Amino acid sequence: MTQTVALKDVRAEQVAQLKAAIDAAAALSKQVTADQSAAQQAVKADEAVLAQLGAGASALHGQFANATMKVDQHAIELQLYANLAEQRDAQIKLDADQDELAGLTQQSQSLAGQITALQAALAQANADLSAARQQDAAAANDRTALTTSVAAAVQEAGSAEVTALATGASDALAKLVGGANMVGVLRARYDHAQLIIGDKQRAVARAQLATVAVTQLTSPSAAAAATAAARYDDADQSVHRWATEGPGRLAAARQALAQTMGTAVFSPPVSTDISDRAKAATDSGAAAADQAFHVAAAAAITAHAELDAVTEPKAAADPGYDPANDDTVKAQRDAAAAADQALTAADAARTPDAKQKTTEWDLSLPPDAVPLAIATFDVQSQIAVLAALDVTALLATLDAAETTYAGALRDQAANSTLQQTAAVSQASRQADAARYAAQADQRVLAVVRGDL
């Protein structure tokens, strides 16, 4: 069994790593500052030596000008040669010490920039850690609610009592709209409408997958993190929604079902007309045809959504992608084609006469009949979903999503550290190259004249 990794622990690791990086950079900066000070003193000492040697050379030149004896002039020439050699060595040392000072100054500035960037990253990491801890605390409360009140609501939703309420509401609705067959028609239309709305939300999810597929081309770690983050957010929101709304949904559903069951049958003229229209639609097959059409339409939406879910990310990452030539999506492609054929056949079965009969039945219903049916279907769906809720699986999904997201964040942080290290190295080398290029003539001269 895979051990769950908490997001707050990974965030805490990132904070600790950044603090350690800042401490290391600060310690190195302190050492570089000390070395920089020593280098400055060395340069000043070198400059003083050169100045002293220069003054000595000037004095020797004066003595040489005043010397009248060849032996004296030769002796001064030897001293001037020795002075020149000392000046050469002193200049070489000064150049080396100045170069070291420039390098240390550059390193000090680079470290200051790194520390500033690390401190900004630490501030963000601390904010992320605080948010993760708050989220973890909220998730703990949600877990408690799921394993207690929500678990009790799940059992209650699947109980014989609640099942009987749902069935009683359907029976009461059937008396209002002309029979169970007509309830089936309304329910098929309702399911179709819900899928139309739901598909718009799924389209957003498919677009997110397409975006991730494109990101994958240039930044696999960022794509992995984005995918993991989305899945974790979905799982966390699902847990929170059930924890906060689950028990209340059941209580509200009970009231709605009771309201349906308590709705009085329409007056005899209206109810008789509804019954007659319903019988005509049922006996002619118009009701069955209408229901079959909406069932087929819902199935087509589902089939195309499943096809789009696997093809849209590929198309986003490859402009030349053609689903018709992709054997890996053949099953989804065939399912969508079959659903389209079934929908075409179902639509053809709704003959003008059949449509007329269902329309006459539709018009016979009072204005409040359809809203009542929708409200009934809403709560029946909520009860069914609640009764089928697997609390253990829901929490396991959250744990797995959190572990995956935490791992993705670790990988992303590691990659970010590598990128930053490489960027710092590149910047340092660019600065070195610029510094050497600015003094290229002097450096070439020094090498050619044998200073190195």
* Total Cβ atoms within 10 A of residue 251: 11
Dihedral, CA of residue 206, residue 209, residue 214 and residue 215, to nearest 10 = 150
**pLDDT 10s digits, 217-256:** 888 888 888 889 989 999 999 999 999 998 898 999 999 9
**pTM score > 0.95 for this model?**
no
Task: Please name the helix (run of DSSP H) or strand (run of DSSP E) that holds residue 365, with its range, or none.
Answer: none
Q: Categorize the per-residue pLDDT at 83 as very low, low, confident or very high, splitting at 50, 70 and 90.
A: very high
Q: Categorize the per-residue pLDDT at 2 as very low, low, confident or very high, splitting at 50, 70 and 90.
A: low
- Number of helices (H), then strands (E), belonging to the chain: the values are 13, 0
Select 7-133+417-448's CATH number: 3.40.190.10, 3.30.830.10, 3.30.465.10, 1.10.287.1490: 1.10.287.1490
Identify each DSSP E strand in 211-365 by its residue range. Answer: none
CA 61 to chain centre: 78
CA 56 to chain centre: 73
* Total Cβ atoms within 10 A of residue 355: 14
Residue 1 has pLDDT above 60, yes or no: no
What is the percent of the chain with per-residue pLDDT over 90, rounded to a whole number?
78
Residue 307 has pLDDT above 90, yes or no: yes
Q: What is the CA radius of gyration of the chain?
A: 41
Q: Which two tokens stand for residue 271?
A: 């109810």
Q: Which of 195, 177, 194 is nearest to 373 (CA)?
A: 177
- Return the axis-axis angle of helices 268-283 and 286-317, rounded to nearest 10°: 70
**pLDDT 10s digits, 364-423:** 999 999 999 999 999 999 999 999 999 999 999 999 999 999 998 898 888 888 888 898
Q: Which two tokens stand for residue 176?
A: 């209002």
Computed over every residue of the chain, the mean pLDDT equals: 92
CA distance 313 to 322: 12
CA distance 206 to 144: 33
Tokens 């929604």 appear where? 241
Cα–Cα–Cα angle for 422, 428, 434, rounded to 5 degrees: 135
Q: Which two tokens stand for residue 251?
A: 């209580």
Give the burial class of 451: count Cβ atoms within 10 A of its Cβ; 0-12 exposed, 13-18 middle, 19 or more buried. Answer: middle
User: So where are the chain's domains?
Assistant: 7-133+417-448, 159-389
**Structural contact between residues 100 and 40, judged by C-beta atoms closer than 8 angstroms:** no
pLDDT of residue 137: 95
pLDDT of residue 326: 94
Q: Which two tokens stand for residue 249?
A: 């949904």
Q: Which residue has the higher pLDDT, 448 or 308?
A: 308
pLDDT of residue 442: 77
**pLDDT 10s digits, 376-388:** 999 999 999 999 9
| Cα→Cα distances 172→179, 180, 200, 383, Å | 9, 10, 33, 18
DSSP characters for 390-438? -HHHHHHHHHHHHHHHHHHHHHHHHHHHHHHHHHHHHHHHHHHHHHHHH
State which amino acid sits at residue 215: T
**pLDDT 10s digits, 252-302:** 999 999 999 999 888 889 999 999 999 999 999 999 999 999 999 999 999
Dihedral, CA of residue 257, residue 260, residue 261 and residue 262, to nearest 10 = 120
CA distance 452 to 447: 6
CA distance 26 to 45: 29
| Cα→Cα distances 387→54, 151, 236, Å | 98, 10, 20
Task: Please name the helix (run of DSSP H) or strand (run of DSSP E) that holds residue 216, with its range, or none.
Answer: helix 180-218
Mean pLDDT of 68-89: 92
CA distance 311 to 258: 45
State which amino acid sits at residue 295: V
pLDDT of residue 156: 94
Q: Which long-range contacts (CB under 8 A, 24 or more apart) does 167-174 make?
A: 168/257, 168/261, 169/257, 169/260, 169/261, 169/376, 169/379, 169/380, 170/376, 170/380, 172/260, 172/261, 172/262, 172/263, 173/260, 173/372, 173/373, 173/376
CA distance 42 to 340: 86
Biggest CA–CA distance in the chain, Å, is: 149
